Amino acid sequence: MGKGGRTPCYNVMVKIGLIYPPSNCRHQEAFPLPNISLPVLADFLRRAGHEVLFFDLDIPFIKALRTAQLSSEIPGLTGYETVPAYLRDRLPADRAEGLSAFQKWLRASLALEKCDLYGITLRDVKEDLFILNSAALIAREIKKRFAAPVVLGGEFDYWEAWKFRVILRRYPVFDYAIWGDAEIPLLRLVEHLGRRKAEPAQAFARRGSAVIEYGGMEPPPKICTTADYAGYPLEAYRVGIDAISERYDLPPGLACPLRGRAAAARPRLSVLYRFENTCRGRCAFCAKGDRPASSRPKSAEAIVADLLDLKERGVTDIIFINPNFNNDYDFASRLCDRMIEAGLGLQWSDSANARELDAQLLRKMRRAGAIKLAFGMETASRRLLKYIRKGVTPERLAGLLRDSSRLGIWNHIDIIGGMPTETAEDIQETVRFIRGNAKHIDKSSLNEFTLLPPSPFYRRAEAFGIRPHRISHALSVLRRESYATFDETEGLRWPQKSVQIWESCRDVTEAIAESSLFWTLDLQHNHLLMQLYAALGHSRKPLIRRIFQRCVRRFKPYYSNEAAHVRFNKHHHFHRDTLAHPFYNFTVSRGRE
């Protein structure tokens, strides 16, 4: 709101400041990536005639930690009660000291310009309350300086939108919240504040102690929105071999040859980009498995034009975040042709759809710049693959991994432990697959099975032999998603199933530990991988793999988890507490209710 609680009246053009607050997960990766949410929103708003400015506080926050301007553990910023009390001046002075120090740093670092509206993205709020609490302190500064409205956006989908109602009630510095794909809801909110006829959609608004909900939604855009990085502080994200050497403790005998190669000597800049919004798969466990399978990619020519523009801005590597690069075989083949013809020279990674892939397309993808592909394998059990509607067989997956590896492409597989109806034999099929294909698997990610309310598993539970209990919301915004406990109709009840999920993850984890790069179970190390491929190329993948393994063993986290990381690398046997450690991307259930 404006001063006195009045909504400001805008002209046709609105000036919007998009803010990426500090995040608290720098123990996970050596170097951060630019946030893609802000450039995607900027493109949509700029096309509608509005002015957009970027304010990225993540890099300044990391520098402040590393130079000891801030403590690595800021009391109160990860708690559920402290910041809301601080915002209302109800926190005792001794408990507010850490927050006051952080607020002082924000005041010095937040080089904001006056805007009509400020938007803050909460990309990581599902993992840690730190980013929500830091966003609230940023909003507090905005209110003090400019008395301008603040809108919050995040990854919450439609079944989780209620969490924003909780946030707006608890944090009086936020005026609005939008959820889901934010482009149209934010534009509708901007037009609503500008006294146009449009009404907000997919939004909450705070009115004193009450929260108003706006429903309704227009059809999505016909094409996927472009990420417009113009004005984004990209240079702050450029990484050179010296920084790689420092973070991974490269010995001179290895760092010097890499530095001497022209491709590696040049500091590299990686950014996120997407050209596809939907997945054509119908996986039963997926929250989007019952949504229409229609795809809406940009044209191949438009994608290449975007990539050429990014190259002009100094970008060297693209991390695609599509559901799959090859949702459609012919489209992916045509896109590769256009990328090759344009001579992009950009390295890239993306997810791969095993149903729409063969050796010929893999060769094209490599020529077009692919250095890493992630395969959503989920399980190697033939029965479970059919049960979850994956549409592939273990033999096909093994063949694609082999063909990709022989081309020098880095292979990543995603696995889910503890699927409904999973048996000991199903688990062993996955274990045997991992061990039998170890030389073609470079990285593995393992997640516990979670029953999500929008998934086919939940919506048609009886057909899949599942009996859901109730949806648990746990600690409000702290959980990744709302989930449901369940019984198997002809199998385990929940107390036993929760143990079986843990046991499944344990057995698969042990197989990964014995067979491949266990130290990369969660971490991506994107910058290291891009640097190694730039210096050595696909043909020297065995050497890249050996260097990568050596480097990640010596990787030094930014803070807080370094001791645990070193301790785990020295004693990398499996134990129950390991699964709950934030170093990994899953926390296994222990009979949770």
Encode pLDDT of 363-377 as tens digits.
999 999 999 999 999
Question: Would you say residue 12 lies in a domain?
Answer: yes
- End of a domain among 148, 180, 214? 214
Residues 307 and 425 in one domain: yes
pLDDT given at position 325? 95
- Looking at the structure, do residues 151 and 273 belong to the same domain, yes or no? no
Q: Is residue 586 part of a domain?
A: no
- Relative to beta strand 203-207, strand 176-178 is antiparallel
For residue 156, give the CATH number of its domain: 3.40.50.280
Write down the pLDDT at residue 586. Answer: 32
What's this model's pTM, rounded to 2 decimal places?
0.87
* Residue 494 resides in a domain: yes
- Residue pair 227/43 in contact (Cβ under 8 Å)? The answer is yes
Sign of the four-CA dihedral 452, 124, 273, 365: negative
pLDDT of residue 242: 85
Is residue 397 domain-shared with residue 317, that is, in the same domain? yes
- Split into its structural domains, the chain has a count of 2
* Same structural domain, 72 and 198: yes
pLDDT tens-digit readout, 164-205 = 888 899 999 999 999 877 888 899 899 888 766 678 888 999
508 is a domain residue? yes
Containing domain of residue 87, as a range? 3-214
242 belongs to a structural domain: no
Q: Does residue 96 form part of some domain?
A: yes
What are the CA-CA distances from residue 511 to residues 14, 205, 274, 296, 430 (Å)?
55, 49, 33, 38, 9
Mean pLDDT of the chain: 83
Closest by CA to 527, choosing from 546, 555, 553, is: 555
Q: What is the pLDDT of residue 324?
A: 93
Classify residue 278 as left (phi > 0), alpha (psi -120 to 50) or beta: beta
- Strands in 297-423 per DSSP E: 317-320, 347-352, 370-378, 410-417
The answer to whether 51 touches 13, Cβ cutoff 8 Å, is yes
Domain co-membership, 201 together with 292: no
Question: What integer pLDDT is reported at residue 471 of this predicted model?
Answer: 63
Residue 229 located in a structural domain: no
| Positions in the chain short of pLDDT 50 | 1-11, 26-27, 473-481, 518, 558-593
* Residue carrying structure tokens 């190259």: 311
Query: Is-contact 239 268, C-beta < 8 A?
Result: yes
Question: In angstroms, rounded to a whole number, what is the distance separating the alpha carbons of residues 213 and 227?
Answer: 29
- Which of residues 173, 199, 214 is at a domain's end? 214
pLDDT for 159 equals 67
Tell me what pLDDT residue 201 has: 85
What is the reported pLDDT for 475?
Answer: 40
Q: What gap in Å lies between CA 347 and CA 534, rounded to an integer?
A: 8
Is 16 inside any structural domain? yes
Last residue of a domain, one of 170, 191, 214: 214
Cα separation, 377 vs 283, whole angstroms: 11
Q: What is the CATH number of the domain that holds 570?
A: 3.80.30.20
Same-domain check for residues 210 and 292: no
- Could you give the C-alpha distances from 13 to 46, 191, 202, 409, in angstroms and in order? 10, 10, 22, 47
Task: Name the strand (E) or helix (H) holding 15.
Answer: strand 15-20
